[in-house]
Amino acid sequence: MTNRRFTSDSSQKIETYFSHDYLHFGNVVHSIEASDREVEAIWALLELGQASSILEIGCGYGRITNRLAKKGAQVTGLDASPTLLKEAEARAAELHVGVEYVLGDMRSLPWENRFDAALLWYTTFGYFDDVDNERVLHQAASALRKGGRLLIDQHNRFAMIRDRARTCDVLQCGDDLRIDILDYDALTDRRNVERVIVRNGNVRRTRISIRHYGFSEYVRMLRSAGFETVDAYGQEGTQFTSYGPRLVIVAHK
């Protein structure tokens, strides 16, 4: 396993945010049926086959990665959280699938011209400032072979601007609570999240900020990174609409 640690303050926040608490509420957020449906959409959008080599950047606990491997693809997953990767490996073993899991920084990928496809799924892109976010796209392009495809799934910022008032989402898992206080800043195009965990009688708070981009910005950044075509879709590959919940990008190198 490659061991690359983040050093910036934003990266430390990311590792804290994606910890045991994130894993604890994972099955409440993502049902088995929804995860299966997402994998079918990913498979179609990236035009995958059983011989395809795939990199999931920000793979978390392997919710998507292991399912892609179960369909017969050759899959590598990279994440910054040792906690989530340990769980991903355990779940892969339970499913009897082989996945290469790597602990690392998405801004510094250790591969060149290796993969047929890569994905940043479920708002895995945008954690850094604009310079580092674009570096992630350049690294993804370098990891892909000629003709490779990159898939990015993110909240649709137009929908968030429409609903930009401060909101609060609450999840319950047994007696435990996860409370997300959400604020979208239309001037910076960042979604700011304060997460409050109430678990086993303890209260923990973490914060994270995610940059959201529009389609024209993705076109500029991805072409600068070396991609030739960039297409937009809505949630799980449906037609994009201005106020739909997701913006899904597919770029061809």
Integer Rg of the chain from CA: 17
DSSP structural state of residue 253: -
| Domain ranges in the chain with CATH number 3.40.50.150 | 9-156+213-252
**β-pair partners for 115:** 144
Instruction: Report residue 96: phi and psi, to 5°.
Output: 60, 45
Considering only the top CATH level, what class is 9-156+213-252? alpha beta
What is the three-class DSSP state of 78? strand
How many Å apart are CA 252 and CA 242, to the nearest integer?
23
Question: Tokens in use for 138?
Answer: 């350049």
Residue 191: both structure tokens together: 């979604």
Backbone angles phi, psi at 234, to 5 degrees: -95, -165
DSSP structure string for 127-177: -S-HHHHHHHHHHHHHHEEEEEEEEEEEE-HHHHHHT-S-EEEEEEETTEE
Q: How many angstroms separate the Cα of 188 from the Cα of each of 185, 202, 211, 212?
A: 6, 33, 8, 9
pLDDT in tens, the chain (253 residues): 333 333 344 665 777 889 999 999 998 999 999 999 999 999 999 999 999 999 999 999 999 999 999 999 999 999 999 999 999 999 999 999 999 999 999 999 999 999 999 999 999 999 999 999 999 999 999 999 999 999 999 999 988 888 766 689 999 999 999 999 999 998 999 999 999 999 999 999 999 999 999 999 999 999 999 999 999 999 999 999 999 999 999 999 9
For the question of whether the overall pTM of this predicted structure is more than 0.85, the answer is yes
Closest CA to 57 of 12, 119, 139: 119
**Which two tokens mark 185?**
């800043």
Q: Residue 12's pLDDT is what?
A: 55
- The contacts of residue 15 (CB under 8 Å, 6+ apart) are 6, 80, 81
